[in-house]
Amino acid sequence: MLGLRELSTELKEEHRAVKETVHRFAEEVMRPAGIKLDRLSDPSAVIAADSAYWHVLRKYRELGLHKGSFPATFGGLEQDVLSSALISEELGWGDGGLAISLTVSAIPYVLAMLSPDSEMQELVRNYCADTEGKMIGCWAITEPDHGSDWIWFEGEHALNPKCAPSVRAVKDSDDYVINGQKSAWVSNGTIATHAALFLTLDPSKGMSACGLAIVPLDLPGVSRGKPLDKMGQRALNQGEIFFDNVRIPKRMMIVEDPTLHNIVLSNLLSGCNTGMANIWAGVARSALDEAIKYAKTRVQGGRPICEHQNVKLMLFDMFVSVEAARYFARQVALYNRAATAAGGLPALQYAAAAKVLSTETAFRVASQAIQIFGGQGVASDNLVQKIFRDARASMIEDGVNEILALAGADRILSEVTV
């Protein structure tokens, strides 16, 4: 990280070892693959059998990074929350889109641990044992007409039938029958083998009667749209999933109680927003690294541009922003893990704040990096313009930043302070 230091006093030798291992993976495997995948004109080529994506996925699994936070009883490594934050940051440094694909893949299997059913628990063990990338998860929540509605899962808004999810499950004897569509923004949508499927059990009750199913995506009635063609994060596969009378056994509906659903969703939104914060803090750091390296070698006025005051001031402003995002994201992760371990709920407003801060920092710092590079910064073969495009999408995915801010403000205003 050039002249940047690691200020966290909580880091032990094992943390530093994990950080170094993942950074090497990010630098040697993720980054070159991400650049290559970004340049493919057809998003279907990103997931072709000979694509660099599958090499990244297999290397990630071979390192055991996919099972880091799972309990040992399921074959996991039981990594602490700081290790998870460090891993996410380094993955983001390598490639923001690939980082999302790799980390979101675990979501169905994390949630499957909620079920006491032996088959669901075996699914988790199989995922932890998968070093070849045969099992891939997705978080199937966003819909064409219901994206930000999921963030307003409590309060008056949640009771509005117009805000009810379009994907619906109807009980039929010992089964559920699922119909509806998830939108093109489902990460891993066209390659996932399993979905964490958020749906409604009674649309007349709006968002207040939702459930969660873990659904194998090879069942009859499941179909996919084509991979989404995007401006940025082109290495991240996204696409629609359709459910046409898809029948699942009751054991796959792991959350039927609306109260439990809200607890699960609160935890998941908090965890995913914090994970996004860690990832995009790493992305922001990568833009700063590129700008510093270039400023030291690019000569104007007879000297490196890093010796010009305007460039120095810009670099320092970028440095302050990156460090603030990195450490706020980590502290939120540590606090919320402690809160849930004590039997409480995570502070969603802090997770939202961390996601907003990191994504907007990544976008702004990438823009500043382009300015430092000058005309070279907008050249199609320059990494910083890719980082800039990738970062732009981050302010929309996993909750549009403005909606997260409004939801966070409501929680701040509703809390009693002493």
pLDDT in tens, 140-152: 999 999 888 888 7
Task: Assess whether pLDDT exceeds 80 at residue 301.
Answer: yes
Q: Does residue 316 belong to any structural domain of this protein?
A: yes
Task: Kindly state whether residues 280 and 372 are assigned to the same domain.
Answer: yes
Q: Supply 414's token pair.
A: 């509703």
**pLDDT tens, residue by residue, 321-362:** 999 999 999 999 999 999 999 999 999 999 999 999 999 999
Tell me what pLDDT residue 154 has. 77
Task: Kindly state whether residues 41 and 96 are assigned to the same domain.
Answer: yes
CATH number of residue 401's parent domain: 1.20.140.10
pLDDT tier at 3, thresholds 50, 70, 90: low
365 touches 288 (CB < 8 A): yes
Task: Kindly state whether residues 345 and 399 are assigned to the same domain.
Answer: yes
Q: What is the mean pLDDT of the chain?
A: 95
List 176's β-bridge partners, or say none.
171, 248
Task: Kindly state whether residues 218 and 271 are assigned to the same domain.
Answer: no
Task: Kindly state whether residues 370 and 253 are assigned to the same domain.
Answer: no
167 touches 179 (CB < 8 A): yes
Q: Does residue 2 belong to any structural domain of this protein?
A: no
93 touches 285 (CB < 8 A): yes
Task: Kindly state whether residues 151 and 27 are assigned to the same domain.
Answer: no
List 210's β-bridge partners, or say none.
200
Q: Which of 45, 53, 41 is nearest to 99 (CA)?
A: 53
Task: Kindly state whether residues 210 and 264 are assigned to the same domain.
Answer: no
CATH number of residue 90's parent domain: 1.10.540.10
Q: Does residue 178 belong to any structural domain of this protein?
A: yes
Tell me what pLDDT residue 1 has. 47
How many domains in the chain?
3
The predicted model gives 184-199 an average pLDDT of 98
Tell me the residue range of the domain where 302 lies: 260-414
Q: Does residue 6 belong to any structural domain of this protein?
A: no
**pLDDT tens, residue by residue, 57-100:** 999 999 999 999 899 999 999 999 999 999 999 999 999 999 99
Q: Which of 201, 198, 317, 311 is nearest to 264 (CA)?
A: 198
**pLDDT tens, residue by residue, 15-45:** 999 999 999 999 999 999 999 999 999 999 9
136 touches 193 (CB < 8 A): yes
What's the pTM value of the predicted model, to 2 decimals?
A: 0.96
State how beta strands 253-255 and 210-216 pair.
antiparallel
Tell me what pLDDT residue 150 has. 86
Q: Which of 67, 406, 101 is nearest to 279 (CA)?
A: 101
Task: Kindly state whether residues 287 and 400 are assigned to the same domain.
Answer: yes
Task: Kindly state whether residues 211 and 319 are assigned to the same domain.
Answer: no
The predicted model gives 257-270 an average pLDDT of 93
Task: Kindly state whether residues 246 and 283 are assigned to the same domain.
Answer: no
List 253's β-bridge partners, or say none.
213
322 touches 365 (CB < 8 A): yes
pLDDT tier at 418, thresholds 50, 70, 90: very low
Task: Assess whether pLDDT exceeds 70 at residue 108.
Answer: yes
- Give residues with Cβ within 8 angstroms of 285, minimum separation 6: 1, 4, 89, 92, 93, 322, 326
The predicted model gives 186-195 an average pLDDT of 98
Q: Supply 211's token pair.
A: 């459930």
Q: Does residue 97 belong to any structural domain of this protein?
A: yes
**pLDDT tens, residue by residue, 276-286:** 999 999 999 99
Q: Does residue 8 belong to any structural domain of this protein?
A: no
